[in-house]
Structure 1
Amino acid sequence: MLTLFTLFTAYTCMGEYDLSGCPLFQGLSQEEITQIMERSVAEVRTLQKGAYVARQGDTIRFLYLLVDGLVRTEMITKEGNIIEIDFIEAVHPLAPAFIFAGQNRFPVDVVAS
């Protein structure tokens, strides 16, 4: 099971997660992180193993922050074979560079592991 925050302007209580290890918050105090998150978290999703977080080609409308668990990223070849690309552990953003890309779409499938 994994827990995922979808970030944009909104708020929620997220005091149970230690986000200080996330590269996005490097150098910030816990108080600064809390202030950012109180104004930013729109949705907290908990997914079962095997569930898709995102599909290759889905538009990235938000910053996705994995706060608990593990995801597997994979691609499907033209022949239909699955190629594992990477495993991402909490606490880490998912495809952060693609949020601001000209084509802001997930480059891979993201699956709860």
Structure 2
Amino acid sequence: MDFTILAQTPLFQGIPAEELEKIFAVLNISKNCFRKGEMLAMQDELVNRLIILTRGSVKAEMTDPSGKLIKVEDIEAPNPLAILFLFGNHNRFPVQATAREMVEAVIIPKQCVL
């Protein structure tokens, strides 16, 4: 896992890559890979983990009440997905996140974030 990329994300900004490596080793957190077209999260799914893109990009889409799929945004690495919803009152993914290309992401269980 490339901790220099993680150190560039707003969440870990200011924490040296070496320190992140130590923290992640203790928490036993690893990297996951997703192929183009694979879903990282589904709309309205419980946000019980923090997903941080370290390579690639995802498209965020939502289904409106009529069933129409609406593109909301593209999210590029290095960035987290729906970080505010991890601790919100309505902690469900507001969109579905689908890999636009090969994506690498770090997935951190909510308990480890705490």
Q: Same fold (TM over 0.5)?
A: yes
Do residues 27 (structure 1) and 11 (structure 2) align?
no
- CA distance, structure 2, for counterparts of residue 33 and residue 42 of structure 1: 11
Do residues 98 (structure 1) and 55 (structure 2) align?
no
Q: Secondary structure at the match of 1:45?
A: strand
Q: Deviations 1:1-58 (Å, cap 9, x if unpaired)?
A: xxxxxxxxxxxxx247622211111111222222222233534321111111111111
Partner of 1:47: 34
- CA distance, structure 2, for counterparts of residue 68 and residue 74 of structure 1: 19
The structure that is helix-richer by fraction is: 2
Equivalent positions of 1:12-91 (< 5 A) are 14-15=1-2, 18-91=5-78
Length-normalised TM-score, structure 1? 0.78
Length-normalised TM-score, structure 2? 0.77
Shift of 1:97: 0.6
Unaligned runs of 5+ in 1: 1-13
Q: Sequence identity of aligned pairs in percent?
A: 36
Q: 1:17 to 1:41 in 2, by over 3 A?
A: farther
Aligned length: 100
RMSD: 1.8
Partner of 2:97: 110
Q: Secondary structure at the match of 2:91?
A: coil
Q: 1:53 corresponds to which letter in structure 2?
A: L
Unaligned runs of 5+ in 2: 101-114
